[in-house]
A and B are shown apart, each in its own frame.
Chain A
């Protein structure tokens, strides 16, 4: 009986230790929001309005605020529109509302905001995504502007309500390269991570 109690207590403390460490890690990495779960339009609205209020509170520069807002919307809507998610709760239907599992992190230090999103991707879709981002990262601002114009003219709104312009636009608005990583899950799927940086105290972009 006593042994059982001890086990219970040590399980609890193990969990509490985890929470303490998790909290420390968030503080270390200067994360203000870390989320894992279903990404929907409701979540997008909630996270963006929460962040807007936080940035108002610290009297963040209006331009930076808009860029952060913009990147958040594109990243969150990228997940709900494009994640490869075969969970039962996932939805690809615009009528019922899109829903896909993903992670979303936002943090900042004195020099920058960093926004990271992550979602499942079928391995067969990796080469196309990789070459799309690599190409964007290889272009300067003028070339990005040209590409954006061309794509905007050519593109049509997809069945999932996307225009295929999100990455180009993020690169243009932030002026920073898109950092990405594909973490293998199994032979069919990987986890796609995208990190975007929005520089503060800079008016060059």
Chain B
């Protein structure tokens, strides 16, 4: 299946979703005005991937900032990954945060309390 690669901009993150390479990563800032249109292709890709997923899926979040609308979308993405996990696939969320960025750390911890997917936390 084709990879989804989106370059980062001032207000949208870099997205790298590649089943063949086993790379699933979101990084940078997310504060687009229209989160639904930006993340639409991401949801389509994940839905597609869910039909024939890899045995292991490690999804890396290296976000430095996201606004509240994006925080809701990230939860929706995590819930899709939860479905994948519940269907018997191995899924791990690797949540990175910059040194001392307690808000980003806490955001990740909060997600891990809401969705039933294993998380690992990494301070960069």
User: How many contacting A-B pairs (Cβ < 8 A)?
Assistant: 76
Q: A105-137 CB contact bits vs B (8 Å, 1 = yes)? A: 000000000000000000000000000000000
Q: How many residues of B contact A (CB 8 A)?
A: 25
Compute how far the CA of A169 lies from the CA of B73 in the bound complex, rounded to whole angstroms: 15
**For B10, what are the chain A residues with a Cβ–Cβ distance below 8 Å?**
45, 49
Assess the A166–B68 pair: CB atoms within 8 A: yes
Assign chain A's interface to a size class. Answer: 20 to 34
Assess the A62–B101 pair: CB atoms within 8 A: yes
Compute how far the CA of A163 lies from the CA of B35 in the bound complex, rounded to whole angstroms: 10
User: Is there a chain B Cβ closer than 8 Å to A177's Cβ?
Assistant: no
**For A165, what are the chain B residues with a Cβ–Cβ distance below 8 Å?**
68-69, 71-72
Assess the A73–B103 pair: CB atoms within 8 A: no
Q: B67-87 CB contact bits vs A (8 Å, 1 = yes)? A: 111011101000000000000
Contact of A163 among B33, B69, B98 (CB under 8 A): B69
**For B34, what are the chain A residues with a Cβ–Cβ distance below 8 Å?**
94-95, 161
Assess the A66–B103 pair: CB atoms within 8 A: yes
Compute how far the CA of A173 lies from the CA of B103 in the bound complex, rounded to whole angstroms: 7
Compute how far the CA of A128 lies from the CA of B72 in the bound complex, rounded to whole angstroms: 22
Residue of A nearest to B67 (CB): A73
Assess the B33–A149 pair: CB atoms within 8 A: no
Q: A45-B11, A69-B65, A155-B72 are in contact. Are A98 and B101 (CB under 8 A)?
A: no
User: Is there a chain B Cβ closer than 8 Å to A80's Cβ?
Assistant: yes
Assess the A73–B33 pair: CB atoms within 8 A: no
Contact of B33 among A97, A155, A156 (CB under 8 A): A97
Which residues of B are at the interface with A, using a C-beta cutoff of 8 A? Answer: 10-11, 31-37, 65, 67-69, 71-73, 75, 98, 100-103, 110, 113-114
Which residues of A are at the interface with B, using a C-beta cutoff of 8 A? Answer: 41, 44-45, 49, 62-63, 66-67, 69-70, 73-74, 77, 80, 94-95, 97-98, 145, 148-149, 152-153, 155-157, 161-163, 165-166, 169, 173
